[in-house]
Each structure stands twice: as C-alpha cells, then as structure tokens.
A and B are shown apart, each in its own frame.
Chain A
Amino acid sequence: MTTLEKIGVGRRATVVEIVGGAGVRNHLNTLGIHMGDTIRVVERAPFRGPVLVEIHGTRVALGRGVARKVTVREDAGSQDAATPRPRREGR
C-alpha cells in the first residue's frame, strides 16, 4: 500500500482510500476518482510539481499534497506496453 504520489510514470494503481476532508474527497469523486478505480500516472512534473493521471479516459492534474491523500495499491506488471518510459525521479 502506498500513495499516488509515489507511483512512477506509466504505471497503474488501484484507489484504496481517499484520506482527508470531505472537500477533497468530493472534488475527486466528481472528477470520477472513486475507491476501486484504476488510475494511470501519465506524467510527473519536476521539483515536486503535480502528478498528471488518467482516469476513465480523462486527464487530471493533482498537486503532490492531493496525490499524497490518495492511498493506492500499485498494479503488478502495470508498465504500460504502449508507452514504455523509464521511471524518473527515484526518491
């Protein structure tokens, strides 16, 4: 179990829980991010910038603070075959 903040580019993860206030949760829910959904990390901005994720065909930018509130389980072997990308920013 980890958070969305830690998922590498091109990898998929399943949402386990959205921690934090009802405000953030509602906002993510209305953008189509719910528990059990699969999210793909498309890009990560440098210098602790936001994470760009794809969910149900929509792209959403999430600040690192928000991404940290989304608990996820990384899907095994989720490296996207169509867009092979080395994992950046190992921290």
Chain B
Amino acid sequence: MEGMRIVLAGQPNSGKSTIFNAVAGYRAGTANFPGSSVSYTLSRAIVLGREVNIVDLPGIYSLTSTDAAEREALTYLLENDPDVIINVVDATRLGRSLELTLQLMDLGKPMVVALNMLDEARRKGIDIDEKALAAALGIPVVPTIGRRGQGLKALFREAMRAGLSHRAPSPASYDNEVERAVGEIERALEPQWKDEPVPARFFAIKAAEGDPEVIHRLAAQVPGIGAIVDRAAAELEKAHGWTADQVVSGSRHTVAHEIEDRVAVFHRGSVGWREMADRVLLHPVTGGPLMALILFSFFYAVFGLGKYVENPLVALFDGLGVWIASVLPPATLAGTVARGVVMGVSGGVAIVLPYLIPFLFGLAILEDTGYLPRMAYILDNLMHRMGLHGKSVVPLMLGYGCSVPAVMSTRILESPRDRRITTALTVLIPCSARTTIIYAVVGAYMGAGWAFFVYILNLVVVGALGTLLSGRMKGRAPGLILEIPDLRLPAAKTLLAKTWLSLREFIVIAWPLLIASSAVLGVLEWAHGASAVNAALSPLTVALLGLPSVVGVTLIFGVLRKELTVLMLIQAIGTTNIAASLSPAQMMTFTVFVVFYIPCVATIAVMLREVGWKDTAWISAMTIVMATVLGVVVRFAFAVL
C-alpha cells in the first residue's frame, strides 16, 4: 500500500525543516534566515512503525502566487492532494502565523497544527493555551520544541489519525462584506466544481484578493468568471474604501489576531543576550566595523587551521609519491596511472579537506546564528549604490560556500532584474572549491596577505560589474523588505550535520572525479595526448598569461570541478610543492584566472534552470573575458613590481 502523504507547511523560520530533519534524517538545509528552503524536499520515513512520505515545503508567509517560493508551495498543495497537512506555527509569532493557518484551512485537507518553538515563546513571556487554540481553530494542536525533538511523536500520531479520518477543518469566516463577495464568486464556480480536490471557496477567496494566477486559472475553467470577480471586488472596495486585496488580507489579519488575543497571554519577556547582541551588531556605529571583524576573523581562522593541517600532510604524500616512483617507474603506463591516483587522493586529503572543513563549518555558523540577514541590513545602502538592495547579500554570501545553492537562493529576490544581476555576480564569488585554490596556492606559498588580496580584488570586480550591469538594466526593485529573525545559538549537532552534508558532496562526487581525472591525465601524458591540448591552449596560457603550457589541460578539467585545476596542476608539474615550478607572479595569475573563469558544470546547469540559456551564455562568456583580462593585468603588474 502506498504510504500516507504528510506535508509540512509553515512560515519561513518556523522550524519546519528542523522537524523534517528530525524525522527524515538530515536532508533539508536549515538556516536562520527566511527563504532558506527554496524548493520542497521529499523523503520516505518510518513514523510510529508505518512508512509515510513526508514533504517539506518552502517556508511561505501566505498562499499567493506572487512570490517564487509561495508559488512552488501552492502548486504542490493544489496538484498533489496530500493526505494531511502539518502546519508548523512559530509560537513567538502566533498572530502572523495564524494568517497562513487560516488560508491552509481553506484547502479542505485534514490538518494538524504543530505549535513550535514553545521554549522561545516562554522566554519571550508568551503563554499560549493550546487547548483554547485547538478549540478556536477546530483542528488538533500539538505543542512541540522541534530543536529538541519534543512533542514530535505526539505530532505525527495526531497527524496520522487526522489523515485516516479524512476530516477537513471547517473554514474560518471573515467579515460580512468579504463573506458576501466570496460567496458570490463561489456560487458562480459551484456548478462547474465536480470532484475537484480543493474546495471552490479557496479559489473564490484568492480571486477576491486579486491573485492574477488564480483568476487566470479560473477564467480558463469557468467562462465569464472574470466579470463576476471584478464586480465582487468593486463592491468590497466601495464598502471599505480600500483595495479589495487589502480588505481581504486585513480581514484575515483581524481574525488571526483576535484568536491570538483569546489564547495567548503576554508577560514582560526578559531582555536576553540576543537583544543585547543585536544592539551592538546592528548599531549604526559599531555594526559595520563588527561585521568586518567577524568576516576577517573567519578568513584567518580558516587559513590558520588549514595551513596547520596541510603542511604535514603534503610532506607525507610527497614522500609517498617518491616511494611509488621508485617501485613503479613513471615512464610505464602502470607507473603513470599509479602516480595519478596517488596525486588525486593526496590532493583531496592534503589540499582540499584542510581548508574545506573549517570553511564549511564557519559558513554553517554564519547561516544558523542568523547573521546573514543582519549583513543584508548593514550592507543595504552599499548595495543600493550598486543598484541592488540588501537581500542580494544573501546569495552572494552563500556563493562563498557553493555557487549552486547560491544561484538557487536568488529566488528570494523579488524582481527578475535583481535576480539576473545577482546571479551574474554570485558565480564570480570564489566558492569553497576556489577558496581551496586561493589558500593552497597563493595562501600557502605567498602568505595570507596575498590570499586576502585575491578576495579584495574579487569584491572590487564584483562591485564594478554590479554597478555596470544595474546601470544598463531597467526595473529597479522597490527596496529591502526582509524579516530579521532572532539570533540563535546554533546546535553543534546541526552544524556538524550541515558541514557533513556539504562535505559528503565533495567526498562522494568530487573526489572520485578528482582521482579518475588524475589517472586520465596520467594516461594522457603517457600517450603524449596532453601536449596537444596544451599546445592548442598555449596562445592563452603561455602568450597572454605567461604560465607554463602544462596548465592548459588543468583548465579544461577545471570546468568539471574547480578543485581539479590545482590538483591537475600538481599532477602536471609532478610535485605538491607548487612553488618549485611556478613563480609568485605565475601563481597569482593562475589563481586569479581560475577564480574568475567560466562557472563549473554544476553551476552552469543550475543557471540554465534558473535564468535560462541566454543569460547563462553571456554570463559564462563574460567570465572568460574577464578572467583573461584580469590575468593579463596581474601578470604585468607583477612584472612591474
């Protein structure tokens, strides 16, 4: 028998993904900022001895089709007919959360409310009578603390019971005029409404609110509905003096807050460390310098830790390489393949992991504490100078981790123009793979100062390009609207799970690729195939950039994964001691070129999906031109110095 389908729906940062992960194992990325889940995650899980399908929807403030995440959630709910909806409600923002609850109830599906984050509500001095809430809504309410796994068993037991009962909640009623308008539209829909999984009332309310997608959908199904909707909306506007969308959402707001007033008591909460920390972190005078300090210490901590681990490991693997060469002579096929495999393994262990692990862990801390949206707040006016606004900071910061989720997170931006510009800038940000190149080549052999210089150069280029692009594209977004969640002490378990999730990506996908490519390069060299590629690329690598011609092949492999460039380089020059073969000017030129040139295959794939082939093509072309120009500039700047 097909398992029950349970959907988790709730507002951003209500703790849905935490509950999902507690049941399904760590799969959904959590973070302390709104919109961290941009698409839904599906998992099969055993709950109370039965197999079920659990879906974690992206966090949504309401069920409208104006926002990308909300459209995704709405489409899922309308097309997949879930057996039961678990509405995760943030107890610290009960009134606002209930506005979504009321909309979900209109879907006519069995529903259970998880009253989550009760510990934080208590700390804020909010007491909620969950029995009264259940009575007011007419659906079961289960108190939970997702972070500690409290109440989850009861929650899923209640959800399965609701799912088996097939009992839908009765929808809440709004004020008289709204009910009259909705009733008119509903009556017009009813004759055509046979065997539809979602009640006509849901669509009637959305239509009265002027949701363009719903109206479009209804118009195709019920001829003449447009005129009826327009008339109902006009009557609403006449009665209230506001636009129909404000009347409907205002009425929902009132109902939600009336329920909150009835079931919740507010005491004076304690001004905790979070409030104190925010006063300093967001203070007009201290906020900016503190942000610089936080990012700078992050950079140095990763560098310090990585270098400490890298040096002994590199020495160890160099020794191993020498031993292999003495057993299997490099001139033989077996010898060259063995050398390639050792180089691939050692590159992963000695060069990538020492920097990747502390880097991913640090990024997880920034994400889970909720510092990212605060950076968006602090940097908003700077981003305005570039013609964007603060929210673009979130994809850019995530870009330091991996370009793929960063490009996906541009969905939090409202305007298509901002998304296009931010995507172009995000792929230029050195991701963790490129970070390991910066650290392992420039950082390790030229010093931390020069590594830092690469980052600054990168930011200057990103800033200039952003200004240039936004000057040329029309349609500025109105400005920053971003919820700033409470600061949170991240749980060590979550941080480790998150680091592991990204690390596993590297170990399972990238590393085997590194080892295989390394071996392939070995065979290529043995068969003298690499020299043909190197010769073909030498106008770029040798003539323009002044690099040894052996880097040609590495740049081709680098399109697969950026880490490959440095590992292939090691393989090509035959030692992990890069400084033995490249001058500082060449190391710098190589690193700058690799940081900027063409996004990796995975990034190109996600860009194709998110912004289409045209943008992907010009962004990719632009990066190659830019990398070449910057590489040449660096080369000659070093020659002059």
- List residues of A whose CB falls within 8 A of some B CB: 18, 20-32, 34-35, 42-50, 52, 56-66, 69, 82, 88-89
Contact = CB atoms under 8 A, between A and B. Distances in A.
Interface string B280-300: 001111010000000000000
Interface string B456-490: 00000000000000000000001111111110000
Interface in B60-98: 61-62, 64, 66-67, 92-93, 95-96
Contact of A49 (B95, B210, B380, B483): B380
A28 B482 CA distance: 10
B271 A82 contact: yes
A52 B287 CA distance: 13
A52 B245 contact: no
Given A30-B62, A58-B96, A45 B380 contact: yes
A56 B478 contact: no
B253 A24 contact: no
A9 B257 CA distance: 26
Interface in B152-207: none
A34 B256 CA distance: 13
Contacts of A58: 93, 96, 483
Contacts of A88: 284
B504 interface: no
Contacts of B380: 45, 49-50, 61, 63
Interface stretch (B371-379, B402-410, B592-600): B371-379
Contact of A60 (B245, B250, B482): B482
21 contacts: A22-B243, A23-B414, A30-B62, A30-B64, A30-B99, A31-B481, A32-B93, A45-B381, A48-B384, A50-B380, A50-B480, A52-B377, A52-B484, A56-B96, A57-B124, A60-B481, A61-B481, A63-B390, A65-B479, A82-B271, A88-B284
A9 to B, nearest CB: 9
B284 A44 contact: yes
B249 A29 contact: yes
Interface in B483-512: 483-486
B580 to A, nearest CB: 49
A45 B378 contact: yes
Contacts of A49: 377-378, 380-381
A48 to B, nearest CB: 6
Given A49-B380, A82-B271, A61 B249 contact: no
Nearest to B63: A30
B339 interface: no
Contacts of B481: 24, 27-28, 31, 60-63, 66
A23 B66 contact: yes
Contacts of B126: 57
B609 to A, nearest CB: 24
Contacts of B99: 30, 32
Contacts of A30: 61-62, 64, 99, 249
B246 interface: yes
B109 interface: no
A5 to B, nearest CB: 11
